[in-house]
């Protein structure tokens, strides 16, 4: 039985600069940590970016400067777990800023739950996806369709998942994705042989996120009019 009603702010963003989204998450995490707002979930796309997590080996960035410049790829060293990954148009990135104290104070269960959201979304499209015993993320056989890397501060989360939908997979060639050199990356587009509507995938991801994390109500936040005051906590 639920101890209290759990509400979720949802903000859909189209293309956004990585640094802008990172700074946004930090502000939202601070507000959530102080219980000023409800849990918040962002779904968005980034411009071409490579990010290196806390334990990343810089040798896994194998791009030349000319490759980075030609493809207009930004590079950031960031504060999430995990190694190196790619973000870009056609890839849906999910950033949940949620208080695990109101769900389950278990980061491993949280990672598995994020995987479950994506596994359920793949299932909607008739794709059998699952987990890999060695690596975090979502896999179709030995092909990785989603990467996951998080940060948890005082049981409040940030960063999240990167789900390849219509992603330009050739840009993964500039890195050793997640430091794994013997596995492929894939996308919904590649698996289904057709372009997938991003808006539809976001709707399915949101529905599955609500179900997996057991929220009662979703409040849609317009990013064009975004403010922390628009996401005032309604649980109190």
Q: Which residues carry out catalysis?
A: 178
Give dist(CA 77, CA 117) in Å, integer.
27
Crossing angle (nearest 10°) for helices 198-212 and 107-124: 140
Give dist(CA 176, CA 225) in Å, integer.
38
Do 150 and 81 touch, CB atoms closer than 8 A? yes
186 phi and psi angles, rounded to 5 deg: -145, 180
Do 30 and 104 touch, CB atoms closer than 8 A? no
The tokens for 151 are: 């940060």
- Please give the C-alpha separations between residue 115 and each of 155, 177, 231, in angstroms, as whole numbers: 19, 18, 26
């Amino acid at each position: 039985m639920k101890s209290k009603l759990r509400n979720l702010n949802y903000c859909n963003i189209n293309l956004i600069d990585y640094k802008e989204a990172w700074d946004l998450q930090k502000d939202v995490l601070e507000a959530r940590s102080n219980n000023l707002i409800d849990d918040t979930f962002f779904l968005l796309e980034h411009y071409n970016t490579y990010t290196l997590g806390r334990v990343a080996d810089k040798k896994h960035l194998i791009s030349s400067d000319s490759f980075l410049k030609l493809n207009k790829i930004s590079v950031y060293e960031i504060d999430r777990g995990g190694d190196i990954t790619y973000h870009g148009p056609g890839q849906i990135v999910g950033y949940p800023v949620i208080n695990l104290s109101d769900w389950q104070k278990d980061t491993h269960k949280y990672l598995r739950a994020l995987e479950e959201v994506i596994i359920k979304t793949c299932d909607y499209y008739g794709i059998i996806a699952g987990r890999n015993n060695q690596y975090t993320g979502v896999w179709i056989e030995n092909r990785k369709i989603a990467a996951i890397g998080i940060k948890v501060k005082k049981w409040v989360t940030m960063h999240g998942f990167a789900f390849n939908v219509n992603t330009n997979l050739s840009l993964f060639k500039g890195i050793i994705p997640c430091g794994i050199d013997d596995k492929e990356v894939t996308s919904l587009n590649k698996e289904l042989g057709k372009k997938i509507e991003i808006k539809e995938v976001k709707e399915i991801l949101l529905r599955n996120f609500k179900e997996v994390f057991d929220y009662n109500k979703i409040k849609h936040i317009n990013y064009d009019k975004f403010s922390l005051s628009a996401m005032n906590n309604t649980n109190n």
